[in-house]
Amino acid sequence: MSDSTVEAILDFWFGADSQSPADEARMVKRWFVRDDTFDDEIRRRFGELVAPAIAGELAVWAESPRGRLALLLVLDQFPRNLYRDDLAAFAGDAAAQRCALEGIGCGHDLALDPRYRAFCYLPLEHAEDLALQQRCVALFTALAEDTSALPVDRYAMYLDYARRHREVIARFGRFPHRNRVLGRSTTADEQAYLDAGGGF
């Protein structure tokens, strides 16, 4: 895989470096609201990268901040788009969390523009681990307080979601909305939470 593949992934996911507020809003919606057309485009253009990434065959990408970011997208985001409501959606999570922590440890996240950093931290938000959730909230707090991180409301949104994910893990130790897909039994407390509209 070449640097051109890394740049193709980043260009696809983030679009132009300079965007209007309307463009920014469209990107956020594309990332976080189900869109089968968007999922199909990921599958067509990048679907073949997911298995090699999980197997560690793209680890060389992590030598640079932009390469690591592209690898995190392939490990953490693309499976969620490609395998919705399937166990495979979480297949890259462990590798993504390791990759994210290594990148944070060597400062790769801080070498990137603020608009990219959220995707360095989202693997920790997806973790069913309270320590990683605490780390995630701290990172998103720092990002929200970064005066160069614009638009401000987007980073406040990221921090809010990080806190909400942490609350779920603090309460249940896992994400109840994953139970069915992962073949786990749901407790009465978890079911009450789900019935009240809990989940992400």
pLDDT per residue as tens digits for the range 21-46: 677 778 888 899 999 999 999 999 99
- Is the Cβ–Cβ distance between 74 and 108 less than 8 Å? no
pLDDT higher than threshold 90 for residue 149:
no
Q: What is the pLDDT of residue 119?
A: 97
Note the pTM of the prediction, 2 decimals. 0.93
What mean pLDDT is reported for the chain?
93
pLDDT digits (tens, 9 = 90+) for 89-135: 999 999 999 999 999 999 999 999 988 999 999 999 999 999 999 99
Q: Which domains, ranges and CATH numbers included, belong to the chain?
A: 3-195 (1.25.40.10)
Q: Does residue 109 or residue 20 have the better pLDDT?
A: 109
The beta-carbon contacts of 29-33 under 8 Å, at least 24 apart in sequence, are 31/77
